[in-house]
Amino acid sequence: MIRHDPEIQDLFRRYCAPARRYLKLGGAVLRMPPEEYEPFVHALAADAKAVSDTELTTLVEGSWRERRTAAWLAAVSRRDHFRERLGALR
C-alpha cells in the first residue's frame, strides 16, 4: 500500500502536512486573511522552489492529498512539463 511507503510518508510530512496545507490549497487560500495568506504563500513558494522533479513525480503517485499538493507545487514553480501528467489525473 502506498501509504506505507517511507518515501511517500517523508514527502507528505515535508510538503503536504505543514499546517495541513493540502486542505488549504484551492479556494481556501483565496479566502485567507492577509496575516495568514502571506506566510502561507511564502512557505508554498519556498517549497515549490525546493522540491525536485523526482519528488513531485513521487507525490503525483500518492493519494489525492499528495496529488493536490504536487499540482500546486508544480504550478507555483512553473514546471509546465508536469501539466499533461497532472491533467490526466482528473
User: Which tens digit of pLDDT belongs to each residue from 23-74?
Assistant: 999 888 889 999 999 999 999 999 999 999 999 999 998 899 999 999 999 9
Domain that holds residue 10: 2-87
Q: What local confidence, expressed as pLDDT, does residue 1 receive?
A: 41
Residues in the chain: 90
Q: What local confidence, expressed as pLDDT, does residue 37 receive?
A: 94
Based on the structure, what is the number of domains in the chain?
A: 1
Q: What local confidence, expressed as pLDDT, does residue 46 receive?
A: 97
Q: What local confidence, expressed as pLDDT, does residue 90 receive?
A: 62
pLDDT band with cut points at 50, 70 and 90 for residue 22: very high
Q: What local confidence, expressed as pLDDT, does residue 58 receive?
A: 94
Task: Compute the distance between CA of residue 56 and CA of residue 42 in angstroms, rounded to an integer.
Answer: 19
Tell me the HSE value of 50 on the side-chain side, using a 13 A CA sphere: 9
Angle at alpha carbon of residue 16, lines to 24 and 1, rounded to 5°: 125
What's the pTM value of the predicted model, to 2 decimals?
0.88
Task: Compute the distance between CA of residue 14 and CA of residue 86 in angstroms, rounded to an integer.
Answer: 20
